[in-house]
């Protein structure tokens, strides 16, 4: 069974630009969560989608948004990029939302903002 | 109240020794406590998880000890091996939703 895939793996952008990251969950998984990982802040929850609906949201500004498609694939968008947005963005999928389901993480997208 | 505090930040252990990582939480609504292992260039992978209705869970060389009254839990890695060298994250959630992660512990096992 293929794991969680994230594209692109690496991205370099400049301040003020916007970026879209993509996540394809494991086949059959309907829940997708996004996390931001930085050396200083660790892993921070961004949001979770289930059946195309955002079910939970972390404490990030509105510049961070996402969506989920009918095939469970998810995209995350960051507008007006800031230097502090440089991070590894991780996507995790699970069969259903919550209910103690194991989350399977992708390898992440490394975003560098110059 | 949503924080999960993890210590130590880094840990060096001799091969064959015991690695111990500690975590503490404040929110008594947390009811699911997973531990994740992350190797460089990879996403975190679930190692072992515990619910607060048990005080200990063991899977192979990995054991979680849980102290509900103290709101603390810890990961013990017995007979630590160089292949265990990785970053370990504790985490907590309510019903599996909106997982809050600790800051991580970088473990290095010396051969």
Domain boundaries, chain B: 4-110
Please state whether A34 falls in left (phi above 0), alpha (psi between -120 and 50) or beta.
beta
Residue A102 confidence (pLDDT) = 83
Query: A98: pLDDT confidence band, cut at 50, 70 and 90?
Result: low
pLDDT of residue A2 exceeding 90, the answer is no
Beta strand spans in chain B (E): 4-7, 10-14, 19-25, 33-38, 45-50, 56-59, 62-67, 72-77, 86-94, 97-101, 105-110
* CB-based contact B101 A105, cutoff 8 Å: no
* CB-based contact B44 A42, cutoff 8 Å: no
Scanning every residue of chain A, which has its alpha carbon at the shortest distance from the alpha carbon of B3? A44
Mutation target to probe the A interface, by most A beta carbons within 10 A, among B39, B96, B100, B106 is B96
Mutation target to probe the A interface, by most A beta carbons within 10 A, among B47, B59, B99, B104 is B99
Q: What is the DSSP letter of B55?
A: S
Residue-by-residue pLDDT tens, chain B, 111 positions:
568 999 999 999 999 999 999 999 999 999 999 999 999 989 999 999 999 889 999 999 999 999 999 999 999 999 999 999 999 999 998 876 778 999 999 999 999
Scanning every residue of chain B, which has its alpha carbon at the shortest distance from the alpha carbon of A43? B101
* CB-based contact B43 A108, cutoff 8 Å: yes
Domain B4-110 is found in CATH 2.60.40.10? yes
């Amino acid at each position: 069974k293929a794991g969680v895939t994230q594209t692109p793996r690496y991205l370099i952008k400049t301040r003020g630009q916007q970026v879209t990251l993509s996540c394809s969950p494991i086949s059959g998984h309907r829940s997708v969560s996004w996390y931001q990982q930085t050396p200083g802040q660790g892993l921070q929850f961004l949001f979770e989608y289930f059946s195309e609906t955002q079910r939970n949201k972390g404490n990030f500004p509105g510049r961070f948004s996402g969506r989920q498609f009918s095939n469970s694939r998810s995209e995350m968008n960051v507008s007006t990029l800031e230097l502090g947005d440089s991070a590894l963005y991780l996507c995790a999928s699970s069969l259903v939302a919550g209910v103690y389901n194991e989350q399977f993480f992708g390898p992440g997208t490394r975003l560098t903002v110059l | 109240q949503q924080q999960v505090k993890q210590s130590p930040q880094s840990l060096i252990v001799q091969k064959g020794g015991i690695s111990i990582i500690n975590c503490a939480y404040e929110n008594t609504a947390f009811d699911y406590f997973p531990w994740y292992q992350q190797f460089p260039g990879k996403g975190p992978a679930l190692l072992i998880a515990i619910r607060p209705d048990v005080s200990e869970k063991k899977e192979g060389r990995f054991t979680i000890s849980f102290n509900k009254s103290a709101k603390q839990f810890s990961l013990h890695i017995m007979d630590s091996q160089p292949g265990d060298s990785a970053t370990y994250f504790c985490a907590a959630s309510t019903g599996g939703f909106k997982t809050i992660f600790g800051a991580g512990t970088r473990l290095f096992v010396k051969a």
